[in-house]
Amino acid sequence: MLIPEFPTQTHAFFWREIEALRASGVEVHVLSTKAPTDKCPHEFARIAIGQTHYVYPPSKLAVAFSVFRPAGLLQSLRYILNLSGSLGRKFRLLGHLMCAADLARHSIKNGVDHIHVHSCADAAHVVAMAKFLGGAPYSLHLHGDLPVYGVDHRQKMSGASFVAAAARPMQRQVIDEAGVPESRTYTLWMGVDTSRFSVPAMPRRRQGALHMVSVGRMHLCKGHRYTLQAMRMLIDMGADIRYTIAGSGPHEAEIAASVADGQFGDRVRLVGSLGEAEVLELLKTADAFVLSSTGIGEASPVAVMEAMAAGVPAVCSVIGGTPEMISDGVDGMLVAQEDVDGLASAIRRLHDDEAFRQRLGTAARQRAVEQFDSKATARKLLTAIEQSTG
């Protein structure tokens, strides 16, 4: 399993997939492009780092390894020259070639017979060249819209055994824009360990204010400002609402400014990055989960799966795979992107109609157990790998 800069804040679901595969008897080697620069808040981070082989910086033996495979080295150089972009970009990819040599050497040494890459960005170039150098066959997993992952997707994907996508719209992009035959594509969600989410036998009744929660990167594309605008509207109309925002990222200052502009006082809390156990505890106190993302890049958000597994109804913008994950008005609520009035209307209904809110939460939990459990999603990945190898 090759995961760029593993582990980070958003990588809990990768670790759960690795655990599920191992529990089924599969030997999983954890690989990564390079060590993460940010500290991972999850409890498994120390163990994961200790088990991970990082291909950057490449070992000195990797250079010698590539020299003794001149045919593969020539194929890799031809691969780089045929990519789009400037000479500077191609020169940078020469450094990736040495990482590819490190990856190929490591996989041969450890008897790795397949590499599944959770990225379609530069890590896909690395694994493609590693195959030229005698490394294992590989597959790719697309976790968002293709443009987010750079260019040259046809070249990256042409040598892959299969390409998985985290939502059907992304699978369609792989077929239509990257030219991968439909028979070599899958829609494969990431999953969550639903057994870790404690759900009371009876739906939890709201205590006081409606407590909304968001968990994710502090990035403008996550649309926090639209949720805050909807919340301001509802408070001005007399609704009693609290909002906890968990996560960190490049736009923390802008989001904090939106909170200050809304004059929410202690109704809104920014709690920073949380580990898995802390997210579980936060969801136990939540009455609703909100994801108001916009633009491109979102696929099938694991944070939404976690909320549903905890029996918390989610209000989500229509983006990526959210329409596949949620049946509007049945196990969650869907609104158009940037639709503040729509967000306000959905949140207001959860605020005013306790029976409806509880009914959605119960249905959300059921759907999570049936469709999003990491053991089931890991089995689907393993089946795809087995089918691709004959």
Residue 4 inside a domain? The answer is: no
Looking at the fold, whether 381 and 299 belong to one and the same domain comes out as no
Residue 7 inside a domain? The answer is: no
Looking at the fold, whether 257 and 172 belong to one and the same domain comes out as no
Q: Does residue 203 carry a pLDDT above 80?
A: no
Residue 3 inside a domain? The answer is: no
Looking at the fold, whether 38 and 72 belong to one and the same domain comes out as yes
Q: What pLDDT score was predicted for residue 200?
A: 65
Looking at the fold, whether 277 and 363 belong to one and the same domain comes out as yes
| Three-state DSSP string of the chain | CECCCCCCCCCHHHHHHHHHHHHCCCCCCEEECCCCCCCCCCCCHHHHHHHEEECCCCCHHHHHHHHCCHHHHHHHHHHHHCCCCCHHHHHHHHHHHHHHHHHHHHHHHCCCCCEEECCCCHHHHHHHHHHHCCCCCEEEEECCCHHHHCCCHHHHHHCCCCEEECCHHHHHHHHHCCCCCHHHEEECCCCECHHHCCCCCCCCCCCCCEEEEEECCCCHHHCHHHHHHHHHHHHHCCCCEEEEEECCCCCHHHHHHHHHHHCCHHHEEEEECCCHHHHHHHHHCCCEEEECCCCCCCCCCHHHHHHHHCCCCEEEECCCCHHHHCCECCCEEEECCCCHHHHHHHHHHHHHCHHHHHHHHHHHHHHHHHHHEHHHHHHHHHHHHHHHCC
Looking at the fold, whether 308 and 331 belong to one and the same domain comes out as yes
Q: Whole-prediction pTM value?
A: 0.92
Looking at the fold, whether 146 and 241 belong to one and the same domain comes out as no
What is the percent of the chain with per-residue pLDDT over 90, rounded to a whole number? 87
The CATH code of the domain that includes 220 is 3.40.50.2000
Using one digit for the tens of pLDDT, what is the confidence trace for 45-99? 999 999 999 999 999 899 889 989 999 999 999 999 999 988 888 998 998 999 9
Looking at the fold, whether 88 and 199 belong to one and the same domain comes out as no
Q: Which domain holds residue 40?
A: 12-191+374-388
Q: Does residue 167 carry a pLDDT above 70?
A: yes
**Mean pLDDT on 146-174:** 96
**Mean pLDDT on 229-234:** 98
Looking at the fold, whether 184 and 331 belong to one and the same domain comes out as no
**Mean pLDDT on 312-336:** 97
Residue 332 inside a domain? The answer is: yes
Number of domains in the chain: 2
Looking at the fold, whether 279 and 384 belong to one and the same domain comes out as no
What is the percent of the chain with per-residue pLDDT over 70, rounded to a whole number? 98
Looking at the fold, whether 208 and 142 belong to one and the same domain comes out as no
Q: What is the overall mean pLDDT for the chain?
A: 94
